[in-house]
Amino acid sequence: MSGFIAYLEQHPNLFVALGGLAAILGAGVGCVIQYFAMRGQRDKLEVDLAECKKREGALEEKARTLEAQLSQFGEEKVRNISTIENMQIDHQTKVTQLNEEIERFQGEVETRDRAITRQKNLVNKMMQIEGQLWEKKALSGPPKFWPLQDRGMPIISVLNLKGGVGKTTVTAHLAAAFSAKGYRVLAIDLDLQGSLSGMFISASLIKQKYDDKQLLQHFLNSCTHKRKVNLLDYVHQPIFEGQQSGLVATSDKLAYAEMNLTMSWLLRIAKKDTRFLLRRALHQKRIARQYDIVLLDCPPLINTCCVNALAASDYVLVPTMPSKKSSERVPYLLEAIRRFHVHVNPHLQVAGILLNRTLRAQLTAPESTIWEQVLAQAKDRMGAPVYGFHTKIRQNPEVRQLESESTFLEPGTELFNTFRKLSEELEERMPRECRRLANSPY
Ligand SMILES: Nc1ncnc2c1ncn2[C@@H]1O[C@H](COP(=O)(O)OP(=O)(O)O)[C@@H](O)[C@H]1O
Ligand SMILES: [Mg+2]
């Protein structure tokens, strides 16, 4: 080594060169170290960069998701806004509709108030005219009255404004007498008490007919609801064995139908004038084809059923008794009939007044006096003589007995002959074309 140093001392340039070389080597080593250090740094940066790129990708993904969500929210917002707007429009429409309905209801309430006031006034007016209530002009055109001459089937109301004078008895036994002569009789029970029905039909059968809706009240109710009602559907037949006579029966529940019809008439509810239901039903070919005579057993007062009978009838037969009280009611009835001629039935005639429950076949002196008074008063009220039947019906316990047994007169008995005579006298009062050839063996 000392030799080398000595050599260097001799060659200073070499020394410098070696120094330079050493410096270069040192610098080179430094550079290499720095190079590796920088490569390490670069690798780290590349890893960092890759990480960053990964994060960037994730962030971009997130940004896209957020954007998608945002646009979804936007759409939803638009949708919600339009829904709210639609709801507002709906609400507005409903408010308008409700307001219109309120206005309409107010209008209806006013119309109803006016109708109620009108009906109150009507009822008041009707109350003031009392008994003349039923004689008012028909609401709309009444059904056509088929003239008796063409119809050939007389319709007779048996009526007196007094109860217990024999209306039902006369109707039932006349029906029997006409049937025995070969007439096909249609009897109709128009009295709430249903006494005529009770003479032909048992209470249990009436109850069954009530359940089957086969009674007069059901016919009347149907008339007000339905357009076409056939009275024949309500006829119970036969009422006399081997004969073609029938009965439209009734029960005490007729009172309700009667009340309904009266209210409809008073308040003008029904479209049809409820006074003409029976005329509409009876003045039909199918009835005239099936029956030869119709007998209507009326109640002892003018109510809907009674007016229906009078509006449909050709004749009124007025039974009365030889007592002051019974005969007093006859002029009232005749006066009512005269008034009914104006708007209800101009064709209605009084067939005659019939004396029932006399003491003997020949009238006693007091009975004659009452009879003459009745006929005189009748003439006075009608402005023309009223027929008094020559046939008189005696007070006879057989009548009540037959009634309680629901049987009819035996041919050959005095009472049977009386009613046969009465039927003949009644026939005389009717046009010739209405009379049937008697085919009775009696
Ligand atoms: N000629 C008579 N003889 C005996 N009783 C009679 C006679 N006519 C009717 N009666 C009886 O008088 C009562 C009333 O008769 P009814 O025909 O029901 O009268 P109206 O139908 O007018 O109310 C009945 O019990 C009946 O039996
Ligand atoms: Mg009666």
| Closest ligand 1 atom to 395 CA | 3
Nearest C-alpha to atom 26 of ligand 1 is from which residue?
400
Closest C-alpha to 195, from 237, 249, 234, 258: 249
Distance, CA of 314 to chain centre: 32
Residue 442 has a pLDDT of: 36
Peptide bond into 238 cis (omega under 30): yes
Residue-level pLDDT, tens digit, the chain, 442 residues: 777 777 878 887 887 888 788 888 888 888 888 888 888 888 888 888 888 899 988 899 998 988 888 888 888 888 888 888 889 888 888 988 998 998 888 888 888 888 777 777 766 666 555 556 777 776 677 899 999 999 999 999 999 999 999 999 999 999 999 999 999 999 999 999 999 999 999 999 999 999 999 999 999 999 887 778 999 999 999 999 888 999 999 998 888 888 888 887 777 777 778 899 999 999 999 999 999 999 999 999 999 999 999 999 999 999 999 998 888 889 999 999 999 998 899 999 999 999 999 998 889 999 999 999 999 999 999 999 999 999 999 999 888 877 777 777 777 788 899 999 999 999 999 998 888 754 443 3
Q: Are 411 and 176 in contact (CB under 8 A)?
A: no
Which amino acid would we find at residue 53? K
What does the pLDDT read at residue 40? 86
Pocket test for ligand 1, best of 317, 400, 421, 422 (most atoms within 8 A of CB): 400
Q: Which atom of ligand 1 is nearest to the CA of 356?
A: 1
Distance CA 120, CA 118 (A): 5
Atom of ligand 1 nearest to the CA of 297: 21
Contact 296, 157 (CB under 8 A): yes
Supply the CATH classification number for the domain 139-434. 3.40.50.300
Q: Looking at residue 377, what is its pLDDT?
A: 95
Strand pairing class (293-297; 185-189): parallel
Using the 8-state DSSP alphabet, how is residue 236 labeled?
Answer: B
Q: Which of 160, 169, 190 to mutate to test the pocket of ligand 1 (most atoms within 8 A of CB)?
A: 169
326 alpha carbon, closest ligand: 1
**CA of 317, nearest ligand number:** 1
The whole-model pTM stands at 0.73
145-168 burial by CB neighbour count: b if 16+ within 10 A, else e?
bbebeebbbbbbbbbbbbeebbbb
pLDDT number for residue 287:
97
- Ligand nearest the Cα of residue 356 is 1
Burial (CB < 10 A; 0-12, 13-18, 19+), residue 55, is exposed
How far does the centroid of ligand 1 lie from the alpha carbon of residue 169, in Å?
A: 6
Q: How far is the CA of 387 from the centre of ligand 1 (A)?
A: 22
Q: What amino acid occupies position 343? A: H
Which residues line the pocket of ligand 1, CB cutoff 6 A? 163-169, 195, 356-357, 393, 395-396, 399-400, 403
Cα 160 to ligand 2 centre (Å): 10
Indicate if the alpha-carbon torsion angle 276, 281, 287, 292 is positive or negative.
negative
Nearest partner of 348 among 319, 382, 304, judged by Cα: 382
Overall residue count recorded for the chain in this entry? 442
**Domains of the chain by residue range:** 2-127, 139-434
Residue 440: predicted pLDDT:
40
Query: What pLDDT, on the 0 to 100 scale, is given for residue 437?
Result: 58
Which residues sit opposite 315 in a β-bridge? 156, 349
